[in-house]
A and B are shown apart, each in its own frame.
Chain A
Amino acid sequence: MKRILLFLVPVLLAAHLAFGQGVVEGVIKDSDGNPLPGATVVKKGTSAFALADENGDFSIAASQEFPFTLKISLVGYETQEVQIYELIDEPIDVVLRIDGLLDEVVVTSRRRQETAQEVPVPISVVSGALVETSGAFNVNRVKELVPSVQLYSSNPRNTTLNIRGLGSTFGLTNDGIDPGVGFYVDGVYYARPAATTLDFIDVERIEVLRGPQGTLFGKNTTAGAFNITTRPASFKPGAVFEVSYGNYGFIQAKTSITGPLVKDKLAARISFSGTQRDGTIYNVRTDKYLNDLNNLGIRAQLLFTPTSDLEITLAGDATRQRPDEGYTQVIAGVVQTKRADYRQFRNIIADLGWQLPSENPFDRKVDQNGTWRSGNDQGGVSLNIDWAVGPGKLTSTTAWRYWNWDPLNDRDFTGLNATSRSQATSKFNNWSQEVRYAGDFSEKLSGVIGVFGIGQTLKTDPEHLEEAGPDQWRFQQSTTNTALWQTPGLFDGHGSSTVFTLESFGAAAFANLDWAITPKLHLLPGVRYNYDRKTVDYARTAYGLYETEDPALIAIRTIYTNQAFNFTASESNVTGQVTLAFNASKKAHAFGTFSTSYKPVGVNVGGLPTVAGQPDLSLAQIKPEYTRHIEFGLKTSPSKRATLNIVAHHTEVDDYQTLVQDPDPALLRGYLANAEKVRVQGVEVEGNAKAGRRFSFFGGVAYTDGKYVTFRNAPLPLEEIGARNEDGTSVPFKDISGEELPGISKWAGNVGGEYSAPLKVFNSDSKFFIALDAYYRSEFSSSATPSQFMYVDSYALVNGRLGVRATEGLSVTLWARNLFNKDYFEQLLVAGGNAGHYAGVLGDPRTFGVTIRQAFGAK
């Protein structure tokens, strides 16, 4: 009994102390009265701390002795100290002010809240506010704010999102490969590049991570990642209504409404976005303006917080793009090929009695007899569970997404009926599941560890069709016996029907740790295990073959052949990275990284080239891509008013997956192949600064040098089509080792500035602002094999805006994009058949308008 008493007395005393000790309770808000969840409350001089919950409330045990100090902080806000001299029986109100100097940018790409300047990853952040005021409502427009990003889109399927020139194939794309730039929205992986053409809905922040990030994200990302965070549902009611009007009939309306459904337990947000704009390219044949926009999107979220440690978000979204005739391309130029004169494009169209509507593509005129259709539907549902367990957070993200693609193209780009049909309708869906644990495991160790799985099904819907028209004969003609080629009905109605199913499965385990060897020196190892499997069942059936017994016609009548293959390919491997980071001071952070990465096998589902009349089945599957990457970076804050970061990078890719444009008209979209080795290296500089309280500036410069180290069997450039060896045999390939990669400007940069001043509007706090930003990129090759003609000239775009903005209340912005109405191409594409003409994706002309925004309560 005595022993028990000896044990119990301390227990009794401890209980007394515990109950005798008071508690400091409080609520943390910003200066507008909005709660600041996640703010940290540290009892100075001790290890005791507390975090503010979603309502900004916190509770922390008081010290035995008074006074004691609570240090309250949240990145992006000025730290506040509260000295507690006595306990009071009501919660204390703490107001944190936004740092009046240069706001610290908070990022979550490493799966925890951090300051961008302190993360040893090259990362560019575009805030939702900048997205809204600059009219950058999709990725294509955001690229002007991040010079290292390239986006090429001739339509949603044929969209390439690259970082530092790497990621996906340049030009047209093929559904059979994986993107190298991961596109994540609220932790959900969007598998198809068409997602990057969607309008943003309720974007809070876009983080662009440059370089391989395979050990941070579920899906492998060999070139970088877009990590987009949208505004969550809020327990504080709020609504934002926004409408924009501009020239070319531009109307954009956005709405977002949020609020509680069950107090402190269940909140919801629903958001809509609709965009429409008239066409900017005139079709002289149909008297219609093409290239219009017509987008509608909805996003809904439910946030359930059964306890303070558990957050469950159920989200769903659906977007529909239905332009009348969108994604139109113009004939940008005509090249003299090495073929005989009669096979030159100008002679072909002259014989067919057609002429270009204009020799200047920037007249924005086309003469096209086909219809452009690009029905693009995307959406999905996701369930995200965040559970605060131990020193970190356990996150599960479950998602299902779909993409329905309904295109129709005039692939000859003319008023002729050479290609009467080009229609590759597809249906896609995928599920994905990621589970990860991220947090500060100890004072010296933090990181993320997770597993990921994804299953994808892509199939034709129900078939892909290509069909020749009555004018095709003249494009096919390869001998001077015109009468033979002109045989009525020789090609008219001859086409192919392709049906395929591609099933992909990927699984990965990944970990990325941050070990603080000393407070200043950190070692960050990362490792990733990949397993990828692709099963394809592909069949292309030719139809409408001209029926004849004439051997001469039989020899020339075939454009499309039957092709069929099916196989399963799998691959597993381990990749990884190691980073050494040195935090010299709060103002300087240096890091060096070596990483390896991998992209799974590609499958040619756009048709195979034929060799001696037979499909080259060896190209049905192309090899995985392997990346080795090294970079050194220095992030500095020369003052509290400025940041300046510099990164040097060098990447080598073995078996680079590329798209080869073939003269064969049966391969309108080209086919996938491996280049033996490519290399991209460069330097990036970016910075932000504030001058006084009223002026702020940002800018960045990227120097990028991308080369094929080895690519011996590259396609011929357009002007060399028809080249022959000395012995008279045709030249099928070209060794372009040492030549430049497409889509990469050596120099790209942006600069912007804003002047703002406080203003009272209708008795509420507002800001007057005027802002200007400019984006420049030097010329770049727009052909897989460099061509002296297929270069997009350098161009500079200037955007401006001015207005009055308010956190709450009415904001009005007058804006103009491409202020000086610069004519430029976003991309050039060789027309199918390589007759000598090439098409261009025109950049938007000057657009201007007004945006009116009314915000209430929570954003």
Chain B
Amino acid sequence: MKLKYSTTIFLIVAFFGGFAQHEITASLKETLETPDRPTKNAQEVVLVTGVRFAYPLVQKWIDDYARVNENVQIVVESRGVQDPAKYDILIEAYEPQEAQKKNREYVYVARYAILPVANSQSAFGKTYSDKGLDKDLIRQVYFHDMYADKENERKIKSPYTIYTRLQRAGSPIVFTGYFGFEQKDLKGKTIAGSDEHLLKAVLRDSTAVSYLPLSVIYDRATKRPVNGLVVLPVDLNDNGRVSDDEKFYDNLTRAVEKLGQQRSKDLNNVPLEYLHFSVDRNVNPAAVEFIRWVVDNKLGDLSDFGFLQPEPEKLNKEKFEQFASQRTP
């Protein structure tokens, strides 16, 4: 009889142990992903979440801010399906929706560009890093287009496999929307993961072709595209061919400079979109103060991280400043 009770108890322990282990693993994972967890001594905690390709840039700003304001601990967390109200600051990679504009305060902090890329070993990458892609070819290569004139499509001899992100997220929405499609119209294999995971997938397949934001394409240390990746130049002036002066992607600084010196509307075949910070109108004043500090002092960091300066009229700085002055002492 005793023996049976023991067995039962062990099984119950095993059962709940499983749950416990699951919770512990999740907790550990969370801890590992957020090394800058607030310390017991911190007086203010500001939680930030949003588009992941901006995390390195935002983390740099957080680190710098910590040096000028020790009383505020700013933490970046991966976004899940939790209530967004949990977060003080949202970093979004596309234009805020009308409802958001009405209910939240926001400020554009950077522009970013999305470019076609390929595995550098691929025949496709080798061919088209030289020839470049014009609008028709981009549409043909990347999208299922039921209205396309298939009879007159160009012949592509190099094999290729399109890789794209599965979840609705900034870069696929911006890339597909720019060319007049929806995310479901993208061809190829899909990746459940972030832009960084998309990069990994491209590097693993020698036929891979994809699209990535500049901040993910380049290795910040070398300022060159990540080893194994090649950028496919596009027809910037939309004249139907890619000329030599449209090929400047071997160096991050040069790429940012070339793209940044033109206004968004004057650039063709490069999806350009804004990164913005948004806050609830009743947000912790410390969050507002952090954003104000970034806008006033840190936009000079953008190019090092693969972002372009916002166009002055888009910055929305004054409106946010007005809001900030009401929320902060």
Contact = CB atoms under 8 A, between A and B. Distances in A.
Nearest to B196: A85
A18 interface: yes
B300 interface: no
B192 A92 contact: yes
14 contacts: A16-B17, A16-B21, A18-B18, A20-B18, A67-B193, A67-B201, A82-B166, A82-B189, A82-B190, A85-B194, A92-B192, A93-B166, A93-B167, A692-B150
A306 interface: no
A181 B83 CA distance: 62
A15 B201 contact: no
B15 interface: yes
Given A67-B197, A67-B201, A20 B22 contact: yes
Contacts of B11: 8, 11
A735 interface: no
Contact of B14 (A4, A8, A31, A694): A8
A12 B189 CA distance: 38
B17 A12 contact: yes
Interface string B52-87: 000000000000000000000000000011000000
A357 to B, nearest CB: 56
Nearest to A16: B21
Contact of B81 (A67, A86, A90, A93): A90
B80 A88 contact: yes
Interface in B175-232: 184, 189-194, 197, 200-201
A15 B18 contact: yes
Interface of B: 3, 6-7, 10-11, 13-15, 17-19, 21-22, 25, 80-81, 144, 146-147, 150-151, 166-168, 184, 189-194, 197, 200-201
Contacts of B81: 89-90
Nearest to A693: B150
A852 interface: no
A93 B172 CA distance: 14
Contacts of A1: 3, 6
Max chain A C-beta neighbours (<10 A), residue from B6, B14, B22, B167: B14
B13 to A, nearest CB: 7
B189 A83 contact: yes
A89 B14 contact: no
A92 B19 CA distance: 24
Contacts of B201: 67, 83, 85
B6 A4 contact: yes
Interface in A61-94: 67, 80-86, 88-90, 92-94
A646 B191 CA distance: 42
Nearest to A69: B189
A94 B22 CA distance: 27
A89 B14 CA distance: 25
Contacts of A85: 191-194, 197, 200-201
A89 B25 contact: no
Contact of A86 (B3, B151, B192): B192
A758 interface: yes
Interface of A: 1, 4, 8, 11-12, 15-16, 18-20, 24, 31, 67, 80-86, 88-90, 92-95, 97, 100, 692-694, 758, 765
B329 to A, nearest CB: 38
A89 B18 contact: no
A94 to B, nearest CB: 7
A758 to B, nearest CB: 5
Contact of B184 (A89, A95, A694): A95
A765 B146 contact: yes
Contacts of B191: 67, 82-83, 85
B154 to A, nearest CB: 15
B146 to A, nearest CB: 5
A4 B8 CA distance: 11
A8 B150 contact: no
A89 B80 contact: yes
A11 B14 contact: yes
B21 A19 contact: yes
Contacts of A84: 192-193
A512 to B, nearest CB: 38
Contacts of B14: 8, 11-12, 15-16
A94 B166 CA distance: 8
A758 B146 contact: yes
A92 B18 contact: no
B132 to A, nearest CB: 27
A684 B121 CA distance: 50
Given A20-B21, A692-B150, A86 B194 contact: yes
B25 A88 contact: no
A696 to B, nearest CB: 13
A849 to B, nearest CB: 29
Nearest to A95: B184
Given A16-B18, A84-B193, A88-B80, 6 more contacts: A18-B18, A19-B19, A82-B166, A90-B167, A94-B190, A765-B146
A448 B40 CA distance: 68
A305 B184 CA distance: 30
Contacts of A11: 10-11, 14
A100 B143 CA distance: 13
Contacts of A18: 18
Nearest to A31: B184
Contacts of A19: 18-19, 21-22
A504 to B, nearest CB: 54
Given A83-B201, A758-B146, A92 B166 contact: yes
A24 B167 CA distance: 13
B29 to A, nearest CB: 10
B7 A88 contact: no
Max chain A C-beta neighbours (<10 A), residue from B3, B144, B147, B193: B193
* Among all A-B residue pairs, the 10 with the closest Cβ atoms: A19-B18, A85-B193, A85-B197, A15-B14, A12-B14, A15-B18, A693-B150, A84-B192, A95-B184, A8-B10
A618 to B, nearest CB: 68
B144 A83 contact: no
A700 B199 CA distance: 50
A78 to B, nearest CB: 9
Contacts of A82: 166, 189-192
Contacts of A93: 166-168
B21 A86 contact: no
Max chain A C-beta neighbours (<10 A), residue from B11, B166, B191: B166
B163 to A, nearest CB: 8
